[in-house]
A and B are shown apart, each in its own frame.
Chain A
């Protein structure tokens, strides 16, 4: 189905494991936004960094909600899915970040990440044989649409970026 999961057979996934998978997806996204925020703070890009910090809180909240649901249903039962089985499902890719990126560009990164997560759950649904797992993936898919709408609403409020980009100020190569 996708190349960003390793060793997960969706047809055999139980609801407990599907919840664990969803928790890990949110955890990965939270950590990635944290890393991107750190990178941009280090490279004097405060507006985009601040937005990524906001996304850290969002992803942490989503993770906590899912973890609570898992706790109520399954307590401390062990999980069979691990972080090492997933790659960049809702987490923005590292190459999306740029020094001096605008707030608009940062929001567009988040939008693409939400779209990617939506595509993941849409792709996973037909492979899941447990109806409860399919229902969970469907609700997560809808959540991702809601998140996309929220990010899009923020984007719509922003003025367009200036025509000149930071790289336009860079010097052409000169001999050394």
Chain B
């Protein structure tokens, strides 16, 4: 594992040109990821970037890190597998709100409770954009889409409350309306030793609502620091996170001040403990007590 303070954002930008719609929030997100990675200083060959399916899931291809544009909703299991196989890698995981909270929703709780040192970035645009504008799990109630012509009856998922309730040690939110803030939150999430989650309100310029666009975010956003929130206050984080969909809070909701050991660290500890006791041909005994 190496860190190089001379790395700059451009070192993480691949030659592949993004094909998102002009005006898409994800253009800002990928720039913020470049900045965050440069800040962290790990070289691209020591980073694995896994995604699911969707517009935002194209993001690993736009970086110079190793990328895996995987199966819909399955980025977290794959990312965890990569982290277990090579714990020295910096593992990032990304996708949309549909990928993360509908199709892959069941994986989130288990990733959080295992606590691998992975950063999960969700580009939450409250719509299925790639498939042309269907209701997604975070779509607001009443939204008219091609699958809710007269308006949706469903209450949206609150990704921030989900992650806090599951016990995530780091939960934050950002918007492309504040590029510096977004880059800084992503960098902080990567540096957090354990599972970290960043919900980015990244508007869909084609199927999103006017009130969800970056221009609207500029007047709506409110930094958590400006409302005096202490990121170590978990209950305070719950209260503020409950306003998802009404208020656009940016910054860190919760950062566990005493992070528990990560799954990868515990796993390596177990390997080290048993490696001397178990002959190579009995390697599976490490995992089964007889």
Select one of B10, B22, B134, B179 contacting A39, CB under 8 A. Answer: B22
CB neighbours of B17 from chain A (8 A): 38, 42
Say yes or no: B23 contacts A84, CB within 8 Å: no
Chain A residues near B211 (CB, 8 Å)? none
Q: Tell me which residues from 177 to 194 in chain B have a Cβ below 8 Å from any Cβ of chain A.
A: 178-181, 183-184
Chain B residues with Cβ under 8 A from A84's Cβ? 8-9, 35, 38-39
Contact with A along B199-219 (1 / 0, CB 8 A): 000010110000001110000
B176 and A95 form a contact (CB under 8 A): yes
Which residues does chain B contribute within 8 Å of A173, judged by CB atoms? 133, 144-146, 148-149
A45, CB-defined interface residue at 8 Å: yes
Q: Is the CB of B146 within 8 A of A174?
A: yes
A6 to chain B: closest residue by CB: B180
Chain A residue contacts of B149, Cβ below 8 A: 173-175
- B25 on the A face (CB < 8 A): yes
What is the 8 Å Cβ interface bit string for chain A, positions 11-44, against chain B (1 contact, 0 not)? 0000000000000000000000001101110110
Known: A38-B17, A83-B10, A84-B35. A176 touches B25 (CB 8 A): no
Bound Cα distance from A78 to B19, whole angstroms: 37
Asked whether B214 lies within 8 Å of A45 as measured between CB atoms, the reply is: no
Complex interface bits, A94-117 against B, C-beta within 8 A gives 1, otherwise 0: 111111010000000000000000
Q: Mark B1-22, 1 if CB is under 8 A from A, else 0.
A: 0000000111000000111111
Q: For the complex formed, measure the closest distance between the CB of B15 and the CB atoms of chain A, giving whole angstroms.
A: 12
How far does the Cβ of B128 sit from chain A's closest Cβ, in whole Å? 11
Q: By the criterion CB–CB under 8 Å, are A94 and B176 in contact?
A: yes
Closest residue of chain B to A171 (Cβ to Cβ) is: B146
Interface residues of A in 152-176 (CB under 8 A from B): 173-176
Q: How far is the CA of A19 from the CA of B76 in the complex (A)?
A: 45
Q: Does A82 contact B (CB under 8 A)?
A: yes
With a cutoff of 8 Å between Cβ atoms, the chain B residues found around residue A95 in the complex are: 23, 25, 28, 176, 203, 205, 213-215
Give B173 Cβ to nearest chain A Cβ, in Å.
17
Knowing A3-B178, A173-B145, the reply to whether A93 touches B214 (Cβ < 8 A) is yes
List residues of chain B with CB within 8 A of the CB of A82. Answer: 8
Interface size on A, residues (CB 8 A): 29
Q: Which residues of B contact A45 (CB under 8 A)?
A: 22
CA distance A176 to B147 in the complex (A): 6
**Is there a chain A Cβ closer than 8 Å to B162's Cβ?**
no
Closest partner residue, chain B, to A42 (CB atom): B19
> Closest Cβ of chain B: how far from A4's Cβ, in Å?
6
Q: Which of B23-45 contact A (CB under 8 A)?
A: 23-25, 27-28, 31, 35, 38-39
| Pair B27/A94 contact, Cβ less than 8 Å | yes
Enumerate chain A residues within 8 angstroms of B28, measured Cβ to Cβ.
93-95
Instruction: Report if A3-B180 is in contact (Cβ < 8 Å); known contacts: A95-B213, A99-B21, A173-B133.
Output: yes
Q: Report whether B22 and A40 are in contact in the complex, using a CB–CB cutoff of 8 Å.
A: yes
Mark interface residues in A29-66 (1 if CB within 8 Å of B CB, else 0). Answer: 00000011011101101000000000000000000000
* Chain B residues in 8 Å Cβ range of A40: 22
Closest chain B residue, CB of each to CB of A40 = B22
| Docked pose: A45 CA to B178 CA in angstroms | 28
The 8 lowest CB-CB distance pairs between A and B, nearest first, are A97-B22, A94-B27, A95-B214, A39-B22, A87-B179, A173-B146, A175-B149, A176-B146
A residues with a Cβ closer than 8 A to B are 3-6, 35-36, 38-40, 42-43, 45, 82-84, 87-88, 93-99, 101, 173-176
Listed by A's residue number, 17 A-B pairs whose Cβ atoms lie within 8 Å are A3-B180, A45-B22, A84-B8, A84-B9, A84-B39, A94-B24, A94-B31, A94-B176, A95-B23, A95-B215, A96-B23, A99-B21, A101-B22, A173-B133, A173-B148, A173-B149, A176-B146
Contacts A87-B183, A95-B213, A176-B134 known; list 7 others, CB within 8 Å. A39-B22, A40-B22, A93-B28, A97-B22, A99-B22, A99-B23, A173-B145
